[in-house]
Structure 1
Amino acid sequence: MTAAAHRHTADVAATPVDTRHWIAGRRVESAAAFPDSSPIDGRPLAEVARGTVADADDAVAAAAAAFPAWAATPRAERARLLHAIADGVEGRLDDLARVETADNGALLRAHRRSVMPRVAHNFRFFADRALSLGRKDFETRGHRNHVSWDPAGPCALITPWNAPLMLATWKVAPALAAGNTVVLKPSEWSPLTASLLADIAAAAGLPPGVLNVLQGYGAEAGAALAAHPGVRRVSFTGSVPTGRRVAAAAATHLTPVSLELGGKSPLLVFADADLDLAADLAVGQYDNAGQVCLAATRLLVEEPVAEAFTRRLMDRAARLTPGDPREPGTDLGPLIHPRQLERVDGYVRRAVEEGARALLGGGPNSRLGGLHYLPTLLTDVDQDSEIVQEEVFGPVLTLQTFRGEDEAVRLADGTRFGLAAALATGDSRRAERVGARLTAGTVWVNCFYVRDLRAPFGGARQSGIGREGGGWSFDFYCDLKNTVTAPTPTPTDGGGHAEGSGHG
């Protein structure tokens, strides 16, 4: 390896990762770099290219140059290449899992068992789904209507740090399957597996410029992409404040946006619920150290069973094993960044100062140190308090009680969010009634996080704009066009105008 190559390659979990951009089928460096450290132990992982406005221009130009040929590529060939990328993901699944765990601190066993297999499935599902795009033609007074899904053009995909590669490919796969080209901007807190994805796509034979990876800070590289006049779609997953800025930047050129933003989801536990099941659902909200947009962090429990439910939940939470996410027995890893630890602890400290009571946890894990935070359960919280209204994005749950369905729905819908909701009940009719009244993009009944790529995903209110999944992804990543064709003229004996069509 040359000295120059070594400078641009990081050894992460025994896997070489190129830390430069991937633009037009080649590696491109920037004048500056930013540091990337592991949340597991704080050790530096890499110095990553810090994208500029000029780098964003180059990436969009590469995507624009590659777009006509990729858009004209038959769907079957695009599908073949996406399946080849999925093969490449599966072939490097362990590399991807180890690098992502080092980079964002999520459990290695989850990356191996579910997250990285889902990455491959994203490509396979949307590759196959694109082959079936289309509706039957329909007639209007003898005229034929034909609806087509035309590729929109270069897409800017700005993705978060909590499930980096899975959420990136949830956008990349349908965008490419639709015939668009892509500039992917991963989070600066977890940028490394996006670089490996570029290698995998190139090895699979994806043409240069079809997938570009632009590294850098959101306020620099991400902002430049969102405001770029050459971008035809912007898809963003992240916080509400950043989502507002992305939408405002894209509005300059009326670029359509898809925004999957924050959540403050409720879990409603009714007195007729299986309390063991309900407690299992509740303790599951500590997954990924609570860094999950869908997490049902607001526990709303019917008064008669609140004490029994709380005992069950605390018993299960006490059995969680915090520690090194690379160890198979660990249930709870670290938060991703010192700023995130400060944010989470700030919410908890202010809640306690305002009268909340910590039944569990309540602060950093002093035994483990670093970025580890204790699984926390707060009660005696007011509906309008900060801890109930704001997305904490850490292992912090609140517990409130209710009397009857009306109060349950009022509390559940009493935030500005509407991403998801879950409810536990033994009454199927109640499940239907309450589920229909909840404001949420997804409602789970006696289960949680059961996801099917055929289903729409997105949020109401300030949890986002638009839906992803199934045909909804293609509705966003395509320009839908209706072609209306008049009836074929009736032939005439003399070759003149058909009867009734003269100008008189």
Structure 2
Amino acid sequence: MTEHTLTVAGVAVDTRHWIGGRRVASTETFTDVSPIDGSTIGEISRGTALEAAAAVAAAKAAFPAWAATSRAERARILHAVADGVEKRIEDLSIVETTDNGALLRSHRRGVMPRVAHNFRFFADWLLKLEHEDFETRGHTNHVSWDPAGPSVLITPWNAPLMLATWKVAPALAAGNTVVLKPAEWSPLTASLLADIAAEAGLPAGVLNVVQGYGSEIGDALTSHPDVRRISFTGSVPTARRIAESAAGNLTPLSLELGGKSPLLVFADADLDLAVDLAVEQYDNAGQVCLAATRFLVEESVAEEFTRRFVEKAATLTQGDPRHETTDIGPNIHPRQLEKIDAFVQRALAAGARAVVGGHRKDTQYYAPTLLTDVAQDSEIVQEEVFGPVLTLQTFSTEEEAVRLANDTRFGLAATLATADAERAERVTAQLVAGTVWVNCFFVRDLQAPFGGSRHSGVGREGGTWSFDFYCDLKNTVTAPNGWKNHG
């Protein structure tokens, strides 16, 4: 081991940046802390504008060759990256659980296999990406997807590697080169991804990883004139700063932002199913942008729904995310815990009632919480908490349910529980949301468009929509019978 290597649960992780196919250390570091117990994991290279410029330069230098690489070869390398991920699922799982506090069993069984799937899906989609030629007054139109150039990808801490590779995989498949900037609260698996990609044969400079604070390195990345695409997942305030930074170069943006999604429960719904869907919103300690944090329940079943929810929530086990029996782990950082508790205490002071929880358990864990007696215009109903905090309101008519559901500045997702197919069709048609689930939750397919409306985001990714973003679309129009016969 070297001074730049950490051992995390027996796994070696390099703490330096990955730029141009080699490790690069910064003169300064930042401290990475485990949310499980607040212990220090280690010191991580803290990037500045210097490392940002170097990473973009490396991506720019590598772009022509990677863009010219055949689709088949790019797909082969992405499948090799997926192979490398699958070989290291256990390493990636334990490192990410240590780093961000999400359940180890979820990482092993779902999250890390999904990371590999991200690479395989976009590798395969690349090979079938096409638009049928069409004619205009005898002229042939041919649509093509041209690689756009160096892409800056800024990713969040709640599902670090899965959400990073949801951007990295299509960007690389499209023929772009990448500068990945992971969240400073969970940087470790991005470093491991750099190792895996290099071992898979990804050429130097095609993937670069830089670590650090957004305030110190972010603007240097997003304002760089050589950057051709920026994709960001995170908060609305940060998205505004990124948009301002990118505006000078008119750099195209994809923004996946916050949510305040509703769960609508109608009286005809299967209440056991509805309660299961509701309790599922505590997943990842409530740190899920898509979570249906606002329960809207028809008045006639609200009391029974609440009773069953309280009983079901009481069966959840909160504790060390490395234990197989744990259902809810810690929140990512003491600062986030303070933010969550401040939301709850302000709501209680304003008259809300805590049916479940309503308090922190210690410096790392917040008790799963359900608040009732909340006003539609209250902060707790309107603003994203990003913790295990849910609210419950009632409605008496379908029209009222839709009005309450749409009455926030967000529009990321919505979930609907009903036994009436016609009602489901009517209501979903009126909901402002990028994704709507009916009698289910969190069923995700990479073929589908994903993104939010209103302040929940700009653009869509997934399937061909990802390539539409990461590429410059070109239409070539050819005249008929315009060729000379050279014999």
Deviations 1:25-56 (A, max 9, x none): 00000110000010001111121111110110
Corresponding residue for residue 380 of structure 1: 373
User: TM-score scaled by structure 2?
Assistant: 0.99
Corresponding residue for residue 471 of structure 2: 478
After TM superposition, list the pairs within 5 Å mapping 1:72-471 onto structure 2.
Answer: 72-365=68-361, 369-471=362-464
RMSD value over aligned CA atoms? 1.0
- Matched to 2:240, the amino acid is R
In structure 1, the residue corresponding to 2:469 is in which secondary structure?
Answer: helix
What CA distance in whole angstroms lies between the structure 2 residues aligned with 1:276 and 1:310? Answer: 11
What CA distance in whole angstroms lies between the structure 1 residues aligned with 2:66 and 2:461? Answer: 22
What CA distance in whole angstroms lies between the structure 1 residues aligned with 2:234 and 2:222? Answer: 14
How far is 1:134 from its partner? Answer: 1.3
Matched residues, number:
486
Match among 59, 63, 71 for residue 63 of structure 1: 59
In structure 2, the residue corresponding to 1:397 is in which secondary structure?
Answer: strand
Deviations 1:294-325 (A, max 9, x none): 00000000000000000111111000000000
Instruction: In structure 1, list runs of 5 or more residues that go unmatched.
Output: 496-504
What CA distance in whole angstroms lies between the structure 1 residues aligned with 2:296 and 2:139? Answer: 55
- Is the contact between residue 150 and residue 228 of structure 2 (CA under 8 Å) also seen in structure 1? yes
In structure 1, the residue corresponding to 2:355 is in which secondary structure?
Answer: strand
What CA distance in whole angstroms lies between the structure 2 residues aligned with 1:227 and 1:405? Answer: 46
How far is 1:490 from its partner? Answer: 7.8
- Is the contact between residue 171 and residue 177 of structure 2 (CA under 8 Å) also seen in structure 1? yes
What CA distance in whole angstroms lies between the structure 1 residues aligned with 2:482 and 2:192? Answer: 57
What CA distance in whole angstroms lies between the structure 2 residues aligned with 1:326 and 1:253? Answer: 45
What's the % identity of the aligned pairs?
A: 75
Deviations 1:313-340 (A, max 9, x none): 1111000000000000000100000110
What CA distance in whole angstroms lies between the structure 1 residues aligned with 2:89 and 2:65? Answer: 30
What CA distance in whole angstroms lies between the structure 1 residues aligned with 2:88 and 2:412? Answer: 33
How far is 1:103 from its partner? Answer: 0.2
Q: Does 1:43 align with 2:36?
A: no
Return closer, same or farther for 1:153/1:491 CA change in 2, 3 Å cut-off.
closer
What CA distance in whole angstroms lies between the structure 2 residues aligned with 1:213 and 1:469? Answer: 23
User: TM-score scaled by structure 1?
Assistant: 0.96
How far is 1:136 from its partner? Answer: 1.4
What CA distance in whole angstroms lies between the structure 1 residues aligned with 2:218 and 2:72? Answer: 32
How far is 1:218 from its partner? Answer: 1.1
How far is 1:487 from its partner? Answer: 1.3
In structure 2, the residue corresponding to 1:383 is in which secondary structure?
Answer: coil
User: Between Structure 1 and Structure 2, whose CA radius of gyration is higher?
Assistant: 1
Deviations 1:171-212 (A, max 9, x none): 000000000000000000000000000000000000000000
What CA distance in whole angstroms lies between the structure 2 residues aligned with 1:340 and 1:491? Answer: 69
- Is the contact between residue 337 and residue 363 of structure 2 (CA under 8 Å) also seen in structure 1? no
What CA distance in whole angstroms lies between the structure 2 residues aligned with 1:490 and 1:17? Answer: 59
In structure 1, the residue corresponding to 2:196 is in which secondary structure?
Answer: helix
Deviations 1:324-375 (A, max 9, x none): 000000001000001100000000000000000000100101xxx2311100
